[in-house]
Chain A
Amino acid sequence: MSGYGVSDLRVRYGGQLAVDGVSFTVQRGTVTALVGGDGAGKSSVLRALAGAVRPAGGGVRRPDAHRIGYMAAGEAVYRDLTVDENLAFSASAYGVRGAEAARRAAELLRRTGLQDAGGRLGGQLSGGMRHKLALAMALLHEPQLLVLDEPTTGVDPVSRAELWRLIAAAAAAGAAVVLATCYVDEAERAASVVVLSEGRPLLEGSPEEVVARMPGVVVDSAVRLDPVTSWRRGARWRTWAADGTVPAGAARAEPDLEDAVIVAELARPRRAGEVAA
């Protein structure tokens, strides 16, 4: 079959269930974004998909280990190795050797704009450059499944555009790409999104589908209409009207992915003792 992914995945750390019932498929040549805040379970899902943790339950579909490229969160490069050494290390870890390894490394250095930085230590690079190096290390062996844990967190928009270009190039070459982000802006670029909250799936589909399936309506107003179902949107307020009626003093707003994610979080069943956000 053509896709990779997880089905009814559960990941447990000690007594804590970090992921509970997450399913999605990512096709070759597409980008899927996992969206959620710190602690939503994104990293755990990605680790299970990449084979770095053993699931407590459910299934994982992935290619052989040497066909997976994995970029851990937090500028995952060796700071005391040079850029060239980081790439060489990655090549040998994935079994890419000789002229092929050199050719791939040169190509990635060019594409990441790091061609003049080969001799610099990982620790001496700027944050954006470290992210690009970490991505290059995950791409070196032309993986079929590319798993990226917050590849752009803390990165400025200029470097982010460059990182996304590399990610898109990998997808264009046929890789299935799964990446985690806490920003909906970024998820909007993906072909499909999976929104996680407290380890559980909140929403899944293409950004357009997720918005279209949002229950009720979202309205815009100058003042707060409700203590729970209203939230800030710039200087204005947005409110979710679950039953679809537009309250007095408000106008119906065209919802976007950010609205749909907020509505899903508001509609999420609370656990016992949990305080509403």
Chain B
Amino acid sequence: MTLVEIRGARKRFGEVVAVDGVDLEVAPGEVVGLLGANGAGKTTLIRLILGLLRPTAGTVRLFGEPPSRHTRARLGYVPQALGLYEDLTVAENLAFSAGAFGAAPGRLDGALEAARGELVAELPLGLRRRVAFAAALAHRPDLLVLDEPTSGVDPLGRARLWETIWEAAAGGAGVLVSTHFMSEAEQCDRLVVMAAGRVVAAGGAAEIVGDASTVEVTAERWEAAFTALDRAGLPAALVGRRLRVPDADPRQVGAALDAAGVKAAVRAVPATLEETFVVLSGDGGEPGAAAPDRAGVA
């Protein structure tokens, strides 16, 4: 059975349509990444799934029924701000949240066990994130919703958190993860990309990138090439000492460099997921305004 089934969901706040005809499914055992710039509608969509908002139109079904207190009991949620009680210890936090679900407190392993008597406020962020995961998983939820679960964590710590995510998926839970980092997105089975309230791309990372290309510029003096491209209205990204101009025409890039007298090798290379995402976000909304102030609605 599909855990999350969203059909044509629309959510309007006054004049603003934050979610505009979204379809989304999460099946047991799969890890789905939710990507979108600020204002794309991710947070509103998550609130619809949590049952905190009702759609203006369309349907949201969790475990085959509309979101309710009953579905909440089968759901684990780790918000960006973690949702822990900072003035309680690790063990108290876990006992308290497990108690709310009538479950036994979450299992403590390694570093968490060593910190069980410490106040959450005094723990490093990496450990706090692990406590939040343990709290969300204690009642063995069928669906796990994670909002930017690993920000502030070093790479090994992030890999350890992902072990927990995949372990939950291997146990049959469905996982929906929102993230701003593509290395994290690439860890998911499947991605859903939102822009301006709509789903603008879905599938595996390679599918989403497809045959999108980027123009790579290798110049002896990257600074001169960067300045020339900037003046020509071709915004370039610096990567090491090379430049990348997403979604551009190599001939146009070459011409801009020639006109400025900058010697450089120019070639089309496959785009990265991040570059593709930024281009998709620009297409979905107004270019350069993908993150306007829509705080509070999305």
Contact = CB atoms under 8 A, between A and B. Distances in A.
A275 B237 contact: no
Contacts of A208: 240
Given A158-B278, A232-B162, A168 B156 contact: no
Interface string B23-60: 00000000100001111100000000000000000000
Contacts of B153: 37-38, 182
A167 B230 CA distance: 13
B293 A126 contact: yes
Interface residues of B, number: 58
B223 A172 contact: yes
A128 B291 contact: yes
A126 B159 contact: no
Interface in A175-206: 182-185, 188-191, 197, 206
Contact of A172 (B114, B159, B226, B282): B226
A174 B187 CA distance: 37
Interface string B261-292: 00000000000001001100110000011111
A189 B238 contact: yes
B288 A113 contact: yes
B275 to A, nearest CB: 8
B203 interface: no
Contacts of B222: 172
A233 B154 contact: no
Given A161-B278, A171-B223, A233 B125 contact: no
Interface of B: 31, 36-40, 110-111, 114, 124-126, 148, 151-157, 159-160, 162-163, 166, 180-183, 186-189, 222-223, 226-227, 230, 235-241, 274, 277-278, 281-282, 288-295
Given A157-B182, A188-B239, A231-B160, 19 more contacts: A38-B154, A126-B295, A128-B38, A153-B152, A157-B281, A158-B291, A168-B236, A171-B223, A171-B238, A172-B222, A182-B151, A182-B152, A184-B183, A185-B274, A189-B238, A231-B159, A234-B187, A234-B188, A261-B155
